[in-house]
Amino acid sequence: MLRPIMFVGTASDVGKSIITAGFCRIFKQDGYRPAPFKAQNMSLNSYVTPEGLEIGRAQAVQAEAAGIACHVDMNPVLLKPTTDQASQVVLNGRPIGTQSAYEYFRENDRQELFAAATQAFDRLAGHYSPVVLEGAGSISELNLKRRDITNLRMARHAGAATYLIADIDRGGVFGSVYGSLALLEPAEKACIKGIIINKFRGDARLFADGRQQLEALTGVPVVGVLPYFHDIFVEEEDSVALAQKRRAASAPGRVRVAVVLLGRLSNFTDFDALSRDPRADLFFTRDAAELTQADVIILPGSKNTIADLRLLQTSGLATAITQAHQAGKTVVGICGGYQMLGRSVEDPEGVEGAVPAAAGLGLLPVRTVLAGEKTTRQRRFAFRDAATAECQGYEIHMGRTTIEGPPRPVATLDDGTPDGYFAGPHCWGTYLHGILDNPAVVEALLAPHTRQAAPAPVHFTEFKDQQYDRLAALIRANVDLPQIYAALRP
Residue 427 falls in the annotated catalytic set: no
**Active-site residue (options: 71, 325, 397, 433):** 433
Tens digit of pLDDT at every position of the chain (490 positions): 899 999 999 999 999 999 999 999 999 999 999 999 999 999 888 999 999 999 999 999 999 999 999 999 999 999 998 888 888 999 999 998 888 877 777 766 678 899 999 999 999 999 999 999 999 999 998 888 888 899 999 999 999 999 999 999 999 999 999 999 999 999 999 999 999 999 999 888 889 999 999 999 999 999 999 999 988 999 876 555 555 555 655 667 899 999 999 998 999 999 999 988 989 999 999 999 999 999 999 999 999 999 999 999 999 999 999 999 999 999 999 999 999 999 999 999 998 888 999 999 999 999 999 998 899 999 999 999 998 999 999 999 998 999 999 999 999 999 999 999 999 999 999 999 999 999 999 999 999 998 777 677 668 888 999 999 999 999 999 999 999 999 999 8
Residue 247: predicted pLDDT:
60
Residue 102: predicted pLDDT:
76
Residue 433 falls in the annotated catalytic set: yes
3-state secondary structure the chain: CCCCEEEEECCCCCCHHHHHHHHHHHHHHCCCECEEECCEEECCCEEECCCCCEEEHHHHHHHHHHCCCCCHHHCCEEEEECCCCEEEEEECCEEEEEEEHHHHCCHHHHHHHHHHHHHHHHHHHCCCECEEEECCCCCCCCCCHHHCCCCHHHHHHHCCEEEEEEEHHHCCHHHHHHHHHHCCCHHHHCCEEEEEEEEECCCHHHHHHHHHHHHHHHCCCEEEEEECCCCCCCCCCCHHHHHHCCCCCCCCCCEEEEEECCCCEECHHHHHHHHCCCCEEEEEECCHHHHHCCCEEEECEECCHHHHHHHHHHHCHHHHHHHHHHCCCEEEEECHHHHHCCCEEECCCCCCCCCCEEECCCCCCEEEECCCCCEEEEEEEEECCCCCCCEEEEEEECCEEEECCCCCCCEEECCCCEECEEEECCEEEECCECHHHCHHHHHHHHHHHCCCCCCCCCCHHHHHHHHHHHHHHHHHHHECHHHHHHHHCC
**Active-site residue (options: 335, 391, 397, 449):** 335
Residue 490: predicted pLDDT:
83
Domains along the chain? 5-234+465-488 (3.40.50.300), 255-449 (3.40.50.880)
Residue 259: predicted pLDDT:
96
